[in-house]
């Protein structure tokens, strides 16, 4: 058995890319604040995120295997050097500054979208507390409000991260006063434009409006630069590859923008911005950026007015966002993924993690989302914030677990039970000729490309045999060309859906100029399918033909994400259990009073009833074969899912059940009895309104987790909840529960 702080590599497998919709906050659900008609496709960070996460994954694998050790940096922090010479920073053990700007909307509009002006801040209507106990509202959403929310002595943004990291990480937030951007809300947030430059324009316009306000207040450009310098002391991507992350890179380290009005994820309408994390103007990577030390750092982004600083990574939240949404989005800024089902389903993570619905918790006192619950163990493991002991195969032991949101001497926060590696074999297709074909890859948030330079010609003919299984309407394979070195592209083809091997051909006329040919595979952040295989690619220029059957390596292609494949994909990945102790301690105190259900959908649709999640031992299965928790696409399996010891315990008399935000309330293992919980819903009938109840009685505690039956904690009657376990005979038993919230757990890993 071994103790440590090294993070699991699975978190880094979630690769991001530019030019895509953003990573979004968990959507609200309920009759009055309905989950929007669509869940925005997201998990799409910036142009360097994919590479960074891939390198982080490799670094963590090297650390866990013992083939690398952390190198302490003289400037602070620690790094791991990879074989390719790149450095990875780990753990997240530093003090950061966040710059927050507040932007209210103006009057400019596009007649194709909404034309109503604004809103300005403080225009959100006061909720009628007789019928609405869920909407967050205060008298004045001014600068002072955010100063207190972010840096206050009690529950605050800063306090949350300090407690979550057990003091390893500190963050302070500077909030600037409200400024007005030119456009109305629709011009930035309408669904037709938000993911196509609208949200980026809001970030850029907010920064420019702030800069103009500073100039109007009498500050000189030099003074503004001096002021902004405090927010650029961290080199997020180690752009100069010197292993020193504690230096300026020309970009604001952490940037938040708050927009006036509500967020679309909270039911504010299709013209509102959906809270997210992204990278502004990621499509300008390699073309623009700040000057640092006399050299330009071409990472894209938006310049802050006429200053020498740029914004790249950012988060955006609504005016009446509670603490939960800000904590959640900043988790993305620290490279944590969403734990909820991003394909629109409903997995069992529920209120157990702030990276799922835990961002919508509170104290049950008039609004939801005001105080988040804690992180789960995998999030803290990835950031280097978890105190844990490992149990390998053939080992057993008895462990004292502190409450998961607390650090105690001689106690672990979690137990990591290592499982046999998992081998996944997917037979997709057989190349039509030879042994190999080019494969686009499979996954969420991909922007994978095959690119080659084409010599000057009057005409170019392109051909390829293509097999594809691509999520129709969301993911696409593009064939495109550029006549300006890649600054702009013209589509020749856009393929989606399913098709067996088919011969395709296209042509274009570059008019005697050289050109660039690119095959690009783009996927969103939801469901992913097999992708595309290409063979027998031909490029003919004025009678001269180049042919590639993926048998000769790169063969002149610039390859990014595509691989040479036999049509069969075999991957070996890690799996492990993380066993933690969830108690009503710290921010997990919200688990007692914060979980909610919209129980009066007909008569009072914005009214919630509260109920308690149960204390006890919570077991998570982390399975690196999966890049997401979309159990609606792969039932009973996902990246990091909690085991629900009672996976289907709530049913209404009409046979329906509450959602899986509610169902996992009694997922924990314990010696103690569960609470009796009743949830309600209203149904319109010919005779009026009928109120139905789904009740779970007090039940004896179940103390022992036993994974010998893979489907013991999963049921076909609620297939999106819980998880199919490993089936190797691991047991974990609660043998004692102390009054101070600690528990004693006996673990056997055969």
- The torsion angles phi and psi of 743, rounded to 5 degrees, stand at -130, 155
Cα 258 → chain centroid: 19
Is the pLDDT confidence value at 417 over 80?
yes
Output the DSSP codes for 244-262.
--SS--SB-SSEEEEESS-
List, edge to edge, every strand of the sheet that includes 447-454: 490-495, 476-482, 515-522, 447-454, 558-560
Residue-level pLDDT at 474: 86
Contacts of 176 (CB under 8 A, 6+ apart): 99, 100, 101, 102, 143, 210
Place of tokens 């947030």: 189
Q: Distance between CA 451 and CA 481 in Å, rounded?
A: 9
Cα–Cα distances in Å, from 702 out to 68, 666, 673, 715, 732?
Answer: 41, 10, 8, 17, 11
Classify residue 32: in a domain, yes or no: no
339 close to 356: Cβ distance less than 8 angstroms? yes
| pLDDT given at position 76 | 77
**Which is more confident, 58 or 520?**
520
Tell me: do 601 and 726 sit in the same domain. yes
In this prediction, residue 40 carries a pLDDT of 62
* Residue 176 lies inside a defined structural domain of this protein: yes
Mean per-residue pLDDT for 271-277? 94
Is residue 124 situated within a structural domain?
no
Asked whether residue 641 carries a pLDDT value surpassing 90, the answer given is: yes
**Tokens standing for residue 74:** 């003289």
Residue 291, beta-bridge partner list: 296
Q: How far apart are CA 29 and CA 356, in angstroms?
A: 13
616-623 vs 575-582, strand pairing mode: antiparallel
Closest C-alpha among 102, 105, 137, 165 to residue 367:
137
Closest CA to 528 of 569, 581, 565, 492: 569
718 shares a domain with 606: yes
DSSP per-residue letters across 107-143 = SB--TTS-----PPTT-SPPP-TTTBSS----S--SH
Q: Mark whether 610 and 555 lie in a shared domain.
A: no
Query: Does this model's pTM top 0.85?
Result: yes
Q: How far apart are CA 728 and CA 343, in angstroms?
A: 30
Q: Positive or negative CA dihedral for 351, 352, 356, 362?
A: positive
* 431-467 pLDDT per residue, tens: 999 999 999 999 877 889 999 999 999 999 999 999 9
User: What is the average pLDDT value for the chain, to the nearest integer?
Assistant: 93
Instruction: Please report which confidence band the pLDDT of residue 7 belongs to, taking 50, 70 and 90 as the band edges.
Output: very low
Q: Does pLDDT of 68 surpass 60?
A: yes
Report pLDDT for 36: 44
**For residue 307, what are the domain limits?**
93-118+137-159+171-335
Q: Is the same domain home to 402 and 445? A: no
Q: Is the peptide bond before 91 cis (omega within 30 degrees of 0)?
A: yes
Per-residue confidence band for 20, with pLDDT thresholds at 50, 70 and 90: very low
Above pLDDT 90, what percent of the chain?
A: 85
Q: Which of 40, 36, 160, 56 is nearest to 98 (CA)?
A: 160
Domain count across the chain? 4
* Residue-level pLDDT at 59: 86
The answer as to whether 212 is a domain residue is yes
**Does 510 lie in the same domain as 439?**
yes
- Which pLDDT score, from 0 to 100, does residue 25 have? 63
Average pLDDT over residues 169-178: 98
Q: Is the domain of 231 the same as that of 326?
A: yes
Q: Considering the chain, what percentage of its residues have pLDDT values greater than 70?
A: 94
Of 306, 335, 364, the residue that ends a domain is 335
In a domain, 210, yes or no: yes
**Residue 144, in any domain of the structure:** yes
Residues 107, 253 within the same domain: yes
Distance, CA of 353 to CA of 631 (rounded, Å): 16
Q: Average pLDDT, stretch 33-37?
A: 44
Same domain, 223 and 81: no
For strands 460-470 and 23-24, give the pairing. Answer: unpaired
Tell me, yes or no, whether 540 and 406 share the same domain: no
Measured CA to CA, the distance from residue 48 to residue 53 in angstroms comes to 9
> What confidence score (pLDDT) does residue 443 get?
84
Contacts of 552 (CB under 8 A, 6+ apart): none
């Amino acid at each position: 058995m071994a103790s440590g702080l090294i993070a699991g590599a699975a978190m880094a497998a979630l690769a991001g890319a530019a030019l895509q919709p953003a990573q979004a906050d968990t959507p609200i659900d309920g009759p009055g604040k309905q989950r929007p008609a669509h869940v925005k496709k997201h998990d799409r960070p910036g142009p360097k995120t994919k590479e960074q996460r891939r390198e982080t994954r490799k670094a963590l694998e090297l650390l866990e295997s013992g083939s690398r050790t952390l190198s302490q940096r003289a400037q602070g922090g620690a790094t791991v050097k990879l074989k390719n010479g790149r450095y990875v920073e780990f753990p997240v053990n530093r003090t950061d500054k966040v710059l927050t700007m507040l932007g209210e909307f103006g009057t400019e509009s596009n007649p194709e979208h909404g034309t109503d002006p604004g809103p300005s801040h403080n225009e959100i209507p006061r909720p009628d507390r007789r019928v609405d106990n869920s909407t967050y509202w205060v008298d004045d959403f001014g600068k002072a409000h955010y100063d207190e929310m972010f840096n206050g002595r009690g529950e605050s943004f800063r306090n949350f991260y300090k407690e979550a990291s057990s003091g390893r990480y500190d963050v302070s937030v500077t909030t600037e006063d409200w400024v007005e951007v030119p456009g109305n809300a629709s011009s930035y947030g309408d669904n037709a434009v938000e993911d196509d430059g609208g949200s980026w324009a809001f970030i850029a316009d907010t920064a420019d409006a702030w800069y103009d306000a500073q100039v109007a207040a009498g500050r000189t450009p030099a003074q503004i630069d001096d002021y902004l310098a405090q927010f650029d002391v961290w080199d997020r991507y180690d752009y100069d590859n010197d292993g020193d992350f504690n230096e300026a890179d020309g970009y604001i380290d952490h940037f938040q923008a708050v927009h006036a009005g509500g967020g679309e994820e909270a039911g504010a309408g299709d013209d509102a911005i959906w809270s997210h994390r992204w990278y502004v103007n990621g499509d300008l990577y390699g073309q623009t950026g700040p000057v640092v030390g006399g050299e330009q750092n071409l990472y894209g982004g938006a310049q802050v007015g006429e200053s020498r600083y740029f914004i790249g990574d950012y988060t955006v939240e609504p005016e009446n966002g509670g603490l939960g949404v800000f904590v959640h989005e900043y988790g993305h800024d620290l490279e944590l993924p969403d734990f909820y089902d991003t394909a629109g389903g409903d997995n069992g993570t529920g209120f157990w993690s702030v990276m799922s619905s835990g961002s919508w918790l509170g104290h049950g006192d008039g609004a939801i989302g005001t105080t988040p619950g804690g992180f789960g163990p995998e999030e803290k493991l990835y950031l280097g914030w978890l105190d844990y002991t490992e149990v390998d195969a053939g080992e057993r032991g008895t462990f004292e677990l502190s409450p998961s949101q607390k650090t105690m001497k001689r106690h672990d926060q979690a137990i990591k039970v290592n499982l046999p590696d998992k081998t996944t074999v997917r037979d997709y297709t057989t190349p039509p000729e030879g042994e190999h074909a080019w494969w686009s890859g499979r996954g969420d948030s991909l922007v994978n490309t095959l690119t080659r330079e084409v010599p000057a010609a009057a005409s170019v003919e392109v051909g390829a045999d293509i097999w594809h299984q691509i999520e129709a309407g969301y993911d696409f394979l593009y064939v495109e060309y550029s006549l300006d070195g890649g600054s702009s592209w013209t589509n020749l083809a856009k393929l989606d859906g399913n098709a067996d091997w088919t011969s395709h051909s296209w042509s274009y006329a570059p008019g005697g100029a050289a050109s660039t040919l690119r095959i690009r595979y783009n996927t969103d952040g939801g469901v992913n399918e097999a992708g595309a295989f290409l063979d027998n690619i031909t490029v003919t220029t004025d009678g001269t033909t180049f042919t590639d059957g993926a048998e000769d390596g790169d063969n002149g292609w610039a390859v990014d994400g595509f691989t040479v494949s036999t049509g069969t994909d075999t991957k070996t990945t890690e799996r492990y259990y993380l066993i933690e102790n969830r108690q009503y301690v710290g921010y997990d105190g919200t688990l007692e009073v914060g979980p909610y259900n919209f129980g009066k959908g007909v008569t009072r649709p914005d009214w919630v009833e509260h109920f308690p999640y149960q204390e006890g031992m919570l077991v998570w299965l982390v399975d690196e074969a999966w890049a997401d928790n979309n159990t609606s696409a792969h039932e009973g399996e996902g990246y990091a899912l909690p085991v629900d010891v009672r996976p289907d315990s709530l049913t209404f008399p009409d046979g329906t059940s509450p959602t899986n935000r509610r169902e996992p309330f009694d997922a924990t293992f314990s010696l103690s009895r569960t609470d009796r919980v009743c949830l309600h819903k209203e149904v319109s009938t010919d005779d009026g309104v009928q109120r139905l109840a789904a009740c779970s009685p007090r039940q004896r505690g179940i103390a022992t987790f036993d994974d010998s039956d893979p489907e013991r904690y999963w049921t076909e009657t609620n297939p999106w909840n819980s998880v199919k376990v490993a089936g190797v005979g691991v047991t974990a038993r609660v043998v004692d529960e102390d009054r101070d919230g600690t528990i004693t757990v006996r673990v056997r890993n055969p």
